[in-house]
Structure 1
Amino acid sequence: MPLPFLTADRELDTADDVPLPYEDRDRWRRPYRPGPWRVGVAALLLLLASFVLFSAVIIAATASLSSAGVVFGLALVVIAGALRLLRMGVWVSARGLRQVVFFSTRTVPWDQVGSVRTVQQPVRLLGLPRMVQGQALLLARRGRAEAVPPLLTTHNADFLGRELAFDRAADTVEAWAEEYRRV
């Protein structure tokens, strides 16, 4: 079974001279692998969902079907949350740059992208209120002075403890921006 989210880094490793090694550029793709923190939390949520589903079966066998339906619905919400957690991140295609967060998605077409650059600044540790010194990949939109949250940081769930992976992902997103802002 092909797992396309695992091939992002491998494609980058095999194509060192080509900054954008993807053949189908109209397809949205994340130019990096999900980090171990994100995958670990999603795995724990799916484990919790399996226990909740098992309890829904037990409740259906011993109690009313309506209460089992409520517990089953709760399991579906936990599963949907785990899947959304795995979809979070920055996605690129020929159409633009997409930032997926837990409750929303923001897409910026390439013609509205002013610059994409890496800066040294205080960043949130795993999205929590605690700030630490790190690097962030920032998006500046053309004609807008509004502050947007960083696209990627060295201390988010994908790159905590993986500096090289952050550098590679930031370079790839910057390469996509350079390629498509010219067109």
Structure 2
Amino acid sequence: MPLPFLTADRVFEAADDVPLPHDDRDRWRRPYRPGPWRVAVAALALLLASFVLFAAVIIAVTAELASAGVVFALSLLVIAAALRLLRMGVWVSARGLRHVGFLTTRTAPWEQVASVRTVQQPVRWLGLPRTVQGQALLLGRRDREAGGMPPLMTTHNADFLGRAVAFDRAADSVEVWAEEYGPR
């Protein structure tokens, strides 16, 4: 059965040669999905923010607006923290490699990347002080010594805890980006 609305004039014919957003190498992208631990903590934070927003509305109706404003600002802070938590991780593009932390973001252009490699070493469990034996993806920069750089990702962080295969795929993907765009 022919569908005439599919054969009508195409609006996007001129844009057919433009790559899809996921094919655009100049856009920053995370080469893996956020892990279940990270998503669960962010979901709980957003749930908490919804209760705090509801409390702000109740305070605004029954008490002073200044108190409601403080509670509303607190809920916005919790929402911003949850969104930043979801954004954490390793991002790559044709311009370089970006390591997004909760409070800091470090970007290394591919010209400065000496190596990206997976090593077996003690790693922090979910970012806590406790260390366990695991794998870490390390970035070696030309302008800094290798010992001072924290690992880009580990098998025991919030994205890969209990997902060793996902860590291997993500580490391989970042290493491929480094080989493709790194200095020759």
The TM-score normalised by the length of structure 1 is: 0.87
Q: How does 1:27-42 map to 2 (within 5 A)?
A: 27-42=27-42
**AA aligned opposite 1:162:** R
* Partner deviation per Cα, 1:127-168 (whole Å, 9 max, x = no partner): 000000000000000142151000010000000000000000
Distance 2:121 2:43 in 1: 31
**AA aligned opposite 2:172:** D
**AA aligned opposite 2:89:** G
Given that 2:113 and 2:183 are in contact with CA atoms closer than 8 Å, whether structure 1 keeps it comes out as no
- Structure 1, unaligned stretches of length 5 or more? 1-21
- Structure 2, unaligned stretches of length 5 or more? 1-21
Question: Which of 1 and 2 has greater Rg?
Answer: 2
Q: 1:79 maps to what in 2?
A: 79
Distance 1:40 1:28 in 2: 24
**AA aligned opposite 2:76:** L
**Alignment partner of 1:150 is 2:151:** yes
Distance 2:103 2:154 in 1: 19
Q: 2:164 maps to what in 1?
A: 163
Q: Could you say what secondary structure the match of 1:78 adopts?
A: helix
Quick one: percent identity of the two aligned structures? 78
Q: 2:121 maps to what in 1?
A: 121
Distance 2:144 2:136 in 1: 19
Q: Could you say what secondary structure the match of 1:55 adopts?
A: helix
Given that 2:90 and 2:98 are in contact with CA atoms closer than 8 Å, whether structure 1 keeps it comes out as yes
Give 1:182 deviation, angstroms. Answer: 4.0
Q: State the aligned residue count.
A: 162
